[in-house]
Amino acid sequence: MKRLLFLLLATTLLVIAPLTTFACPEGQKANSRTGDCEPIPGRKKADPNKIKLDSYDIESTLPSTASDWSKNSLKVDATWSFPAEGKQPYPLVIYLLSSGGYWSSYDGKWIKWFNNQGFATLWVDQYTARGMSLKKGLGTKQSGMSDASYVSDAYAAIRTAKADPRIDPERIVTFGMSWGGGVQMYLMSQWFQKQLGNGNVNIAGHIALGPACYLTVEKPKPTTGKMLMLLGEKDNWNQPKPCRNYAKRLQQAGASITVETVKDANHAWDLDKTTKSYRAVVYHCDIRFDPETMNARNVEEGIKVNFSRDGWGSLWDKCEKEAKVTTGGTKKQLNWTRERVRKHLADTLGM
């Protein structure tokens, strides 16, 4: 009888012991003798500042497909960074990368600058979760993911930030250059907010440097954030004209938006590096659509389609092309930009 009980007990322990390994946190395993969770030798401790955002992977930004945008959920990477001094809750800058990916010599310096100004930052990595290179981004072909996916990521960051007790939910702004600026054009539209916001995502402000404004709402109903839009006078990657047109329509609809042009500035003038030229895919378009009828037009080419009936049609045929682009700027342009950003933050957040 005792032998039978011993065998039953031993069998039970053999069954239970392996199961305990599955209950251990990531980076730990169960001790084979005690069952206690212990760190796995050589495994790096998880960085608490690296988090996952609840977003969506969206195949196309075609507005008539908006009902499908929330079908494919995706966990997107993001990283917190906090000022060395100051008290919680912190004001926050949600940092949105350009199509060039993450550069420590550019993005890292901006993030550090914001931290030194007393801001927490949350920078969004829209690339890694989608199997793309964080260092290369969209590359010179400017392809690999949709604008709608990036808009979803930005809203996911806003929702996460607003729920974090370390952050002041009333003092949140977004910041980005090029594509990181262009995605904020969508954030200024109530229609896009309704499609992908999923909650209270109104924030205090937006800062867009050299944004892309190729697809906008014809008669926008603006969101409440105050926007600073800085445009490069000689930007031949993201043309300033469509952005000025959109800003004017937003202002006429009641938006608080300030547009300034940086004299003699190329694209990415705040890079503080000698200018260089190369070829890349550009989208030199001013495409506008009506969300109610889904009628759309390419303003410069006179091409008209209905998104529900025609899809994109021929709207992009003459404006999506490979062209020579020039990037880089001067220390003077960078310093002027930082001072202008500082002033906007102070005016918007009352600091």
Which 3-state string (H, E, C) describes 261-318?
EECCCCECHHHCCCCEEEEEEEECCCEEECCCCCEEEECCCCEEEEHHHHCCCCCCCC
Of 235 and 142, the one with more pLDDT: 235
- State the pLDDT at residue 23: 53
State mean pLDDT over 48-75. Answer: 96
Residue in the block written with tokens 């494919």: 72
Domain-located, residue 143 = yes
Domain-located, residue 56 = yes
Domain-located, residue 297 = no
Query: In whole angstroms, what is the distance from residue 154 CA to residue 93 CA?
Result: 12
Could you tell me whether strands 287-289 and 215-217 are parallel, antiparallel, or unpaired per DSSP bridges?
parallel
Residue 10, pLDDT > 50, answer no
Longest dimension (CA), the chain: 93
Residue 16, pLDDT > 70, answer no
- The pLDDT tens digits for 135-177 are 888 776 677 799 999 999 999 999 999 999 999 999 999 999 9
- State the pLDDT at residue 26: 57
- State the pLDDT at residue 142: 74
State mean pLDDT over 191-203. Answer: 94
The residue count for the chain: 351
pLDDT > 70: what percent of the chain?
Answer: 91
- State the pLDDT at residue 153: 97
Buried b (16+ CB within 10 A) or exposed e, 262-290: beebbbbbbbbeeeeeeebbbbbbbbbbb
Query: Encoding tokens for residue 287?
Result: 């495409």
- State the pLDDT at residue 24: 61
Residue 21, pLDDT > 70, answer no
Does residue 296 contact residue 287 with C-beta atoms inside 8 Å?
yes
State mean pLDDT over 107-116. Answer: 97
Q: Is 81 helix (H, G, I), strand (E, B) or coil?
A: strand
Does residue 166 contact residue 120 with C-beta atoms inside 8 Å?
yes
- State the pLDDT at residue 28: 73
Residue 11, pLDDT > 70, answer no
Of 311 and 41, the one with more pLDDT: 311
Domain-located, residue 313 = no
Query: In whole angstroms, what is the distance from residue 154 CA to residue 174 CA?
Result: 9
State mean pLDDT over 6-17. Answer: 41
Domain-located, residue 282 = no
Write the CATH number for 114. Answer: 3.40.50.1820
Calculate the average pLDDT of the chain. 90
Residue in the block written with tokens 């499908």: 68
pTM of the predicted model, to two decimals?
Answer: 0.86
Residue 3, pLDDT > 50, answer no
Q: Is 142 helix (H, G, I), strand (E, B) or coil?
A: coil
Edge-to-edge strands, sheet with 295-298: 215-217, 287-289, 295-298, 303-306
Residue 7, pLDDT > 50, answer no
Domain-located, residue 319 = no
State mean pLDDT over 86-100. Answer: 94
- DSSP for 46-61? PPTTEEEEEEE--S--
State mean pLDDT over 124-136. Answer: 92
Does residue 125 contact residue 79 with C-beta atoms inside 8 Å?
yes
Closest CA to 214 of 292, 128, 320, 342: 320
Domain-located, residue 34 = no
User: Binning pLDDT at 50, 70 and 90, where does residue 351 land?
Assistant: confident
- State the pLDDT at residue 99: 85
Residue 43, pLDDT > 60, answer yes
Residue in the block written with tokens 């890694």: 128
Query: In whole angstroms, what is the distance from residue 345 CA to residue 351 CA?
Result: 7
- The pLDDT tens digits for 237-263 are 999 999 999 999 999 999 999 999 999
- State the pLDDT at residue 178: 94
- State the pLDDT at residue 338: 97
Q: 9-18, 165-174, 196-205, 226-235: which range is least confident on average?
A: 9-18
- The tally of domains found in the chain comes to 1
Element at 249 (helix H, strand E)? helix 240-252
Domain-located, residue 24 = no
- State the pLDDT at residue 139: 73
CB under 8 Å to 117, separation ≥6 — which residues? Answer: 83, 342, 345
CB under 8 Å to 285, separation ≥6 — which residues? Answer: 214, 215, 242, 298, 300, 315, 316, 319, 320
- For residue 219, the enclosing domain spans 50-272+330-349
Which range among 34-48, 93-107, 288-302 has the greatest average pLDDT?
A: 288-302
